[in-house]
A = this chain, B = another copy of it.
């Protein structure tokens, strides 16, 4: 079969454009509406997307005045969506800094079973002091420390997910023997950040464990991805940068002893779709006109770790910004924003407009053919294995993509036309079911729970 695109629908209340909630069509309560998300999930499934994705942070992200704040907790919402869908993968963001491995491993295992093998975990270390202060800390842990904890968290979680062999359940009613305790492997982990006896109280799941997804593009983030990630979300503004990132990550994955085919690179794209290019540009302009720029200044200052009042709307960024090394928060996003502003000599007002759509992800306004062309170019020229689709307005932007771009991609042979017999999320991404680390000879046949 020829190589095909992997598409992920990144869902976020009324859409990724910060002003989307102000459009007449938008539901300002969408962020807490199950019906809104059920509709989006079914549209994405109609478009034969590989997966849905929800971002997350355990804190109230912004002032309420500016735009919708708060959200349904992703694992909870995706569990509800699992019962409303049949095929599509369900990728929840969860933090290694502010969860316990035992609790989180259980929840993902439960979702994987309930969804028939469609769970994915977007592993984040969670930048920012606001989250830290909700969990007994005064400030965020240093970037390197967050990643060290994340690596140990993964090791523990992987042990827990493997702590039942696939055939541990015997179910011998006559003999009164339900399971084989010799096939249970408590992790007995004692490390720097965690001490976990185990075993998990959930059997091994259809996928073995959830698809592992990662989205940090710092040095630490890329190292972590090379070691663990099976899919990577990334923000790239130019095809040159995207190609360099793609090649670098595949090389790092090979260097870590893994098959580079087993990590899928998915840049984000905010498609603003019109039946003509002029119509798409007009739609983009309507969104930009709804931005309240004074709100954006505070957020930009926060991202760049500048004191409040530093930036002026109609000037460029200050020339003396610190290097990425000095940033303890979202390192790679910091560099992307600073480079974008410098490259195009944008004023703060213009920069806020550019970031309004995708917070640093590529915004692309055009006809369905132009959007499909851009996707095909990146896909065939070594910049992407697929895309993280981030509609600026929801549900209309996802409707437009599925109704108008998906048919073009299918006609070009770039996207599946139906889901077919593959069942699990990992199968959709073309990845093998992982072996159990405690089993030297894998059990033959299909595991009971698959």
Contacts and interface: CB of A to CB of B under 8 A. Distances in A.
Interface string A231-265: 00000000000000000000000000000000000
A181 B59 CA distance: 15
Contact of A83 (B84, B111, B133, B135): B84
Contacts of A199: 60
Interface in A60-115: 60-61, 63-73, 75-77, 79-80, 82-84, 98-100, 102-103, 106-107, 109-111, 113-114
B64 A180 contact: yes
Interface in A194-223: 194-203
A308 to B, nearest CB: 16
A164 B169 CA distance: 46
Contact of A134 (B23, B134, B197): B197
| Overall SS of chain A's interface | loop
A160 to B, nearest CB: 9
Nearest to A56: B201
A173 to B, nearest CB: 5
Nearest to A74: B110
A69 B179 contact: yes
Given A83-B84, A98-B100, A203 B32 contact: yes
Contact of A110 (B57, B76, B178): B76
A177 interface: yes
A421 interface: no
Given A60-B200, A98-B100, A201-B61, A178 B67 contact: yes
Nearest to A163: B60
Nearest to A27: B171
Contacts of A98: 100, 102-103
Contacts of A32: 113, 202-203, 449
A239 to B, nearest CB: 35
Given A22-B173, A29-B169, A69-B178, 7 more contacts: A21-B173, A32-B202, A60-B184, A60-B201, A65-B180, A70-B164, A70-B200
